[in-house]
Amino acid sequence: MGTGGEGGVAGAAQLTAADLLRGLCAALRPGRGACDHQPGHPLALPGAHDADVPAGAPDLERAPLAAARRPDGRPGDRRRVLCRAHIEGTHAHICLLHRRFSQGGEMERPLVSVYITCHNYGRYLEQAVESVLAQSLQNWELIIVDDASSDETPEICQRYQEQDPQRIRVLRHEEAQGLQRNANRVLEMARGKYIMRLDADDWLDESALLVMSERMERRAEVALVYPNYFYVDAEGRFLGVEQRKLPGSEARLLDLPAHGACTMVRRRVLKALGGYDERHNAQDGYELWLKVSRHYAVEGVATPLFFYRQHPESLSRNEDRLLTARRQIKRSLAEKLEGAVKPRVVGIVPAKNTYKSMPDVVLKEVGGRPLIDHTLEAARASGRFDEIWVTTDCPRVVEHCTMRDIPAMLRPSALSEADRKLSEVVYDAVTRLETDHDLFADVVVVLSAHSPLRRAEHITKALDTLVLYDADSVISVYEDFDMHFQHGADGLEPLNPAMMRKLRLEREGLYVFNGAITAVWRDAIRPDDYHGKSISHVVMPWRESFQLKSDFDRWMLDRLLREDNEDRQEPPTAAAE
pLDDT value of residue 49: 34
| Interatomic CA distance for residues 35 and 433, integer angstroms | 61
494 residue type, one letter: P
3-state secondary structure of 239: strand
Smallest CA-to-CA distance from 364 within 450, 455, 448 is with 450
Neighbours of 331 (CB within 10 A): 14
pLDDT value of residue 433: 98
Q: For residues 474-502, give the mean pLDDT.
A: 94
CB 383 within 8 A of CB 399: no
Give the model's confidence band at 373: pLDDT under 50 very low, under 70 low, under 90 confident, else very high. very high
- C-alpha neighbours within 13 Å on the C-beta side of residue 29: 21
| Interatomic CA distance for residues 112 and 471, integer angstroms | 34
- C-alpha neighbours within 13 Å on the C-beta side of residue 116: 32
Compute, in degrees rounded to 10, the torsion defined by CA atoms 235, 236, 237, 240: 130
Q: Has residue 315 got a pLDDT over 60?
A: no
Query: Considering the chain, what percentage of its residues have pLDDT values greater than 70?
Result: 79
3-state secondary structure of 230: strand
pLDDT value of residue 22: 56
- The pLDDT tens digits for 246-286 are 888 788 878 888 888 999 999 999 999 999 888 887 788 88
- Is residue 141 within a helix (H) or strand (E), and if so which, with residue range? strand 140-147
Query: Could you say which DSSP state residue 49 is in?
Result: G
- The pLDDT tens digits for 539-573 are 999 999 999 999 999 999 999 998 887 776 655 44
Lowest mean pLDDT of 57-66, 115-124, 338-347, name the range.
57-66
22 residue type, one letter: R
Q: Has residue 195 got a pLDDT over 70?
A: yes
CB 522 within 8 A of CB 441: yes
Q: Has residue 48 got a pLDDT over 50?
A: no
pTM of the model: 0.78
Query: Considering the chain, what percentage of its residues have pLDDT values greater than 90?
Result: 65
In DSSP terms, which residues pair with 195 in a beta bridge? 113, 265
| Interatomic CA distance for residues 488 and 223, integer angstroms | 43
pLDDT value of residue 194: 98
Say how far residue 565 (Cα) sits from the centre of its chain: 33
Q: How far is CA 433 from CA 346, 411, 430, 436, in A?
A: 10, 12, 5, 5
For residue 258, which phi and psi values (nearest 5 degrees)? -65, 160
3-state secondary structure of 482: coil
3-state secondary structure of 192: coil
